[in-house]
Each structure stands twice: as C-alpha cells, then as structure tokens.
Amino acid sequence: MQTVFDATLERLRSAREAFVPALWVREIGRVVRVSNGIAAVAGLPGVGFEERVAFPNGLFGIAFDLGAEEIGVVVLGDARDLAAGDPAARTGRVVDVPIGDGLLGRVVNALGEPVDDHGPLAGMGRAPIERPAPGIMQRAPVNQALQTGLKAIDALIPIGRGQRELILGDRQTGKTAIAVDTILNQRGQNVVCVYCAIGQRASSVARVLATLAEYGAMPGCIVMVTEGSEAPGVAYIAPYAATRIAEDFMDRGRDVLIVYDDLTQHARAYRALSLLLRRPPGREAFPGDIFYLHARLLERATHLDAGRGGGSLTALPIVETSAQDISAYIPTNLISITDGQIYLSPRLFELGVLPAIDIGLSVSRVGGAAQPAAYRSVASHLKLAYAQFEELESFARFGTRLDAASRRTIEHGRRIRACLGQPAGAPVALVEQIAVLLALVEGLFDEVALEAMAAAEGAVRDSVANLAPGVGARLALAEELAAADRAAILAQARQALAGHRAVSLAP
C-alpha cells in the first residue's frame, strides 16, 4: 500500500514540475447601456469591425460602430437578457455559419442552428457569412435557363442560371407563391434551393414549409427562418448567412437557387439598427449605405466560369411595394441592382388573373439568351402579340367600334392571357409548355371558347405523352425546333382540341 502511495505521489510531483501555465491576453469590457437590439460596450479598444462579441448566458453580438470610447454592438438575440455592467469579451472571429450537404432538408435560424425536430447538425464545416463577390474575370455568361414552371415567366420573362431577378408587388399579390413554385419546379433538376424568410410571420413560414413537404421538395432545399418577433440584428445577418450556405454548393460546381423573402423587411431591420446607433438618416429615414447593403449581397449571385467549377447562384429577391409605388426608395434601389423584375399587379390579382404578372412592367435583361433555342423560337413573338392585345383592349373600353382584324387580335390576346394563367403549386414541364405555346402561336386555341380554355390547355398538355420517345430531350437541347417535331406537336394538339366547343369570330 505504501508503495502505491509513493508512486502516486511521485507522479503528482512530476506533473507539477512539468506543468507550464498557458497564458493568453483577453480583452474584456463592460456593457454601458442597452436599447432595443443594441448594446454600447466600453473597454474593447482592439475589437475589429463585425467581430463577434460574447456576452453572458451564451449571447453574442456584432461590433458595428467602432468609437474611441465605446463601441456599438448589434445583439444577435434577446437583448432583455442583457444589463448595464455585464461583461463583454472579444472572440477574435466574425459571425459564421455551418456549410455542407448536411444542411439539405433542414430548417435553421440565421446563426445556422437547427430549429426543426431532426436533431443537431453533425460533421459540418463553418464559414464567415460575408465574403467578396466574384470578380468579372471569374464569371461566365448567363446562357442556361432556370425553368420556373410558370408559362408567363419562362416564355416572356425568362430567368437564367446566375441571374438576379427581382419579384415585387403589393401585399398579398402572390410574390411568395411564384418563388415557391420555382422551387417546386427544381425537383429532379439537380438544383439546390435555399429559401430565406426574413422577418416573416410564423404562419407564413409554416405554410411554405408545408407546401415544400407536400410536394416532396424538402430533400433538395435548405430553409433559413427569422420571424418578425426576433431581434433586428438576426434579420440583418439572415440573407448573408443564407448566401454563404448557397455559395458553398456553387463553389463545388452545383447550380443553386436562393429566395430572399423579403428584402423590404431586411431594409427595415437595418434602418432600425442604424437609427438606434444614431447614424444620420437619409431618404425615408434609411441610412445612406442602404444601397451598398443590398448591392454587396446580390452581387454574390453569379455564374462562375469553368475554371472555378462552373457553378451558379440564381437570386430571386422579393420586395414589397406600397400602393403600387414601384418608384419608392428600396424598390428603385433593387431594380437598379438586379437583372430584371417581375411586377405583380393588384388589379390583375383582383380580376383573378394568376399569376398576376404585369407583362408591360416586367422585364428580364438576360432575355432569350437563357432560353432553350426551341422554346425561344416558339415564344419570341408572344410578348409583342400580348402587348398589342392589351393596347387594343384598353382602347376598346371606350366603346370604340373595331374592325374584324382588331376583334381577332383581342380574342387571340384573351386566349394568350388564359394560357399564361395557372394555379399555384402546378408548375408545367418544358415540353408541355412548348406544346401549349406552339398551339397558341399557331392560333389553334382561337376557336375555343374562353370558358373552355383550361380544359383545352389540359388536353394539349396530356397529348405530349403521345409524342415519340426522345422528342422532349431534343426540344431541351436542340439549337432550333425541327420541322418534324413541330409538325408532330401540332398534329397532337389539333387532335386534342378537336372535341372542344368552337366559337365564331365573325363580325
């Protein structure tokens, strides 16, 4: 027994003599005052911009305003748990989020913490939420379509992989529905989808999650959620964190779609933080750097060149307008940053035209360059025909007598509008779109009554199944629509429409 005691004592003596204390320097300041989502901290002279600052009880913040005597810290959590006199320590790192394939199918918050019931994230790397946008020489042209499954968008306002297309409109006009339908249409397309909800109601987020789960789209999606009741600092970092998660897939050569729903709430959160930090306000009380806030975010959406893997990040930012005012500060900023916009009209929504896209105010600056050639050959003249119809329809409201040609133009335009409409949650495949649009351009629907258009369109879409094998692949890859394929599609469409009631367009 004495031998064991002596041996243990010797080991302890040796361990004591070999111990070298590890010393490190830490800066620990104190909280001077706390307001709604903001803390003023003194005693951290070496802190860097946007460095994480640790507070008690696992609370963190971002160093935002660096003053000589004190710094302004944006609190990433409930500031009610913080009080004057609490310690605040530097961490020597910026805010980061987990990245990797383990995020697919998960719902996380702006800090990358899971908020679903699928357990913790394991084996994930981490990356800072901010990084510079790729340079011009690292980018490739946007020349491949991102099919939304919505005929009105794919035909008239095409979106390419790597493009930034703004969705704007008043409240409850279907902005989120368009974004969700686009996500649903990416099933089986090898496109990773990231949906970032910024300051949304819990019921709205739950509805989106239920839709994605119902249609089996969640395995290829990542959902980042910040609710309206959370601190403004959390809403501020959310789109940057979601973009960093999406960029990881893009860097590995994947095609990614990211939806920001919506950047109006993001701008309001940043305005609240800026006013609390006593920064000088500008137009509509927004700070002067609000343009840079969104520009540095959306510039990260791109199509990388082959040397960097050829991946792409397509952004669909959503912004809310008030009383149809698209010339307001935030909408005009985002219109100037993005590569086009899709405007949703409350007037069309009230008339039951869904999706309520105002074709005249919507544009894609990539245009037909991103459309498959066969699709472009069918849809190239559709926007002009629709614009002529809208002009004539407005003219006809004054009770003007129209000639037979004008009446035919109006009737044809009404069928274009009927064909471009579709319900939410029902994206249309590329081959079916080509069949419907080709029949429309050739005037096959002109003899169909308006009330029978939905059934007639469904019949044409069903007729695609009777086409010869391989036609669909040729339509997606061919440089132009072959005459044989065109004739085959029209023959099937005529056969499908044969049984529908005809109308007379005679004077």
Q: Residue 304 and residue 135: Cα distance in Å, rounded?
A: 10
pLDDT in the model for residue 504 = 42
Do the domain assignments include residue 350? yes
Q: Residue 79 maps to which CATH number? A: 2.40.30.20
- Domain, as residue range, for 448: 377-497
Same domain? For 118 and 67 the reply is no
Task: Tell me what pLDDT residue 108 has.
Answer: 96
Which helix (H) or strand (E) element contains residue 477? helix 471-477
Q: Give first-to-last CA distance, the chain, whole Å.
A: 118
Counting Cα atoms < 13 Å in the Cβ hemisphere of 252 gives 12
Q: Looking at residue 468, which CATH number applies to its domain?
A: 1.20.150.20
Residue keyed to tokens 């305003």 = 65
pLDDT band with cut points at 50, 70 and 90 for residue 24: low
CB-CB neighbours of 285 under 10 Å: 12
- Residue 501, pLDDT above cutoff 60: no
The answer to whether residue 20 sits within a structural domain is no
Which residues are CB-contacts of 10 (< 8 A; sequence separation ≥ 6)?
A: none
Predicted pLDDT at 321:
95
User: Is pLDDT of 424 > 60?
Assistant: yes
Higher pLDDT among residues 490 and 81, named by residue: 490
What pLDDT was estimated at residue 269?
95
Looking at the 3D structure of the chain, how many domains does it have?
Answer: 3
Q: Which residue has the higher pLDDT, 417 or 14?
A: 417
Rounded-to-integer distance, Cα 364 and Cα 153, Å: 9
Is 123 within the bounds of a domain?
A: yes
d(CA 310, CA 296): 21
CA distance 150 to 144: 17
pLDDT at residue 106 tops 90 = yes
* Helices and strands in the chain: count of H runs, count of E runs: 16, 16
Check residues 484 and 75 and name the one with the higher pLDDT.
Answer: 75
| 282 belongs to a structural domain | yes
Q: Establish if 6 belongs to a structural domain.
A: no
Q: What is the pLDDT of residues 61-82, one digit of tens each?
A: 999 999 888 999 999 988 888 9
Instruction: Identify the CATH number of the domain in which residue 230 sits.
Output: 3.40.50.300
Q: pLDDT tens digit string along 133-167?
A: 999 999 999 989 999 999 999 999 999 999 999 99
Residue 404 has pLDDT above 70, yes or no: yes
Indicate whether 211 and 83 sit together in one domain.
Answer: no
For residues 492 and 388, state if they share a domain: yes
* In a shared domain, residues 75 and 145: no
Tell whether 367 and 381 lie within a shared domain: no
Mean pLDDT estimate for the chain: 90
Write out the two tokens for 66: 């660096």
21 falls within a domain: no
Tell me the torsion sign for CA atoms 462, 466, 471, 472: positive
Task: State the pLDDT at residue 478.
Answer: 64
pLDDT for res 287: 94
Among 66, 93, 120, residue at a domain's last position: 93
Between CA 211 and CA 505 the distance in angstroms is: 42
Among residues 364, 333, 365, 345, the alpha carbon closest in space to that of 263 is found at 333
DSSP code of residue 58: G
Task: List the catalytic residues.
Answer: 365
Closest CA to 266 of 302, 222, 300, 298: 298
Residues 103 and 192 in one domain: yes
Asked if residue 241 belongs to a domain, the reply is yes
Q: What is the pLDDT of residue 124?
A: 85
Whether the per-residue pLDDT at 199 is higher than 70: the answer is yes
Residue 57 sits in the same domain as residue 126 = no
C-alpha distances in Å from residue 377, one per residue of 368, 437, 481: 10, 10, 7
Structural domain ending residue among the three candidates 47, 78, 93: 93
Q: What value does the mean pLDDT take over residues 437-450?
A: 90
**Is residue 259 one of the residues assigned to a domain?**
yes
Place of tokens 């339908």: 181
* Cβ neighbourhood burial of 245 (10 Å; 0-12, 13-18, 19+): buried
Q: Are residues 351 and 331 in the same domain?
A: yes
